[in-house]
Amino acid sequence: TSNEERLGAVGDLNYTINKGEIDDDILVIPGDNIFDFSFTKLIDFFIEKKSPVIAVSDMKDKEIIKKRYSSVVLDPEGKVTSFEEKPEQPKSTLTCPAFFILPRERLELVSEYLFQGHNPDAPGHFLQWLCSAMPVYGLLLQEKRYDIGNIDSYNEANKLFEERE
Tell me the pLDDT tens digit for each residue of 127-147. Answer: 999 999 999 999 999 877 767
CB atoms within 10 A of CB 3: 5
| CA pair distance 77, 89, nearest whole angstrom | 24
Rg for the chain (alpha carbons), in Å?
16
| Segments in the chain forming alpha helices (H) | 9-19, 40-49, 62-68, 108-115, 123-133, 151-164
pTM of the model: 0.88
Indicate if the pLDDT at residue 155 is higher than 70. Answer: yes
| CA pair distance 94, 88, nearest whole angstrom | 15
What confidence tens digit (pLDDT) does each residue in 7-56 have? 989 999 999 999 999 999 999 998 777 777 789 999 999 999 999 999 99
Task: Kindly give, in sequence order, each residue whose CB lies less than 8 Å from that of residue 118, ignoring residues fewer than 6 positions away.
Answer: 10, 125, 126, 129
Provide the CA 93 distance to its chain's centre, in angstroms: 15
